[in-house]
Amino acid sequence: MNNQLLLIDDEEVFNLIHSTLINHLDKSTKIIKYTSSMDALNFVTNCLIYNIPLPAIMFIDIRMPEMNGFELLDEFMKMGPDTFSNTRIYVVTSSLNEKDRIKSMGYPIVSGFKEKMMEKDQILEILHLKESTK
């Protein structure tokens, strides 16, 4: 079973806080962190080139330099939505803009939109360690 999680956020503090919480909740999850969206795109591209399974879960921030989260999602879409059929992608952002939520959820590869900082229960649901309250 693929228990990898990819964190893509230019703010290292959020990667650190989320990875610490995830490790506390599920020590079996292998966390890969990128503060550069370009480096994360290269990682995903290399996974596809070398036939390496993509992480089961990805958290993507919207507001990043180089390439923002929407541009990164656009690049992922060019790879084909089926490429991400075994990956759940969550946009995780401090943006409170409803337009950002609507735009994020317009991508067929996006499973959810979460506000930073995610809380324990939200992460447990994403990791499927707790029943959804929806």
Quick: pLDDT tens for 27-85: 999 999 999 999 999 999 999 999 999 999 999 999 999 999 999 999 999 999 899 99
pLDDT at 39: 98
Other C-beta atoms within 10 Å of 57: how many? 23
| Cβ neighbours, 10 Å, residue 45 | 12
Rounded average pLDDT over 130-134: 47
What local confidence, expressed as pLDDT, does residue 48 receive?
97
* pTM of the model as a whole: 0.92
**Domains in the chain: ranges and CATH:** 4-126 (3.40.50.2300)
Dihedrals phi, psi of 119, to nearest 5 degrees: -95, 165
Query: What pLDDT is recorded for position 118?
Result: 86
Query: What pLDDT is stored for residue 117 in this prediction?
Result: 83
**Which pLDDT band, with edges at 50, 70 and 90, does 134 fall under?**
very low
Residue 41 confidence (pLDDT):
98
**Residue 118 preceded by cis peptide, ω within 30:** no
Among 31, 11, 34, 10, which Cα is nearest to 123's? 31
Residue 14 has a CB neighbour count (10 Å cut-off) of 21
Residue tagged 């317009």 (tokens): 106
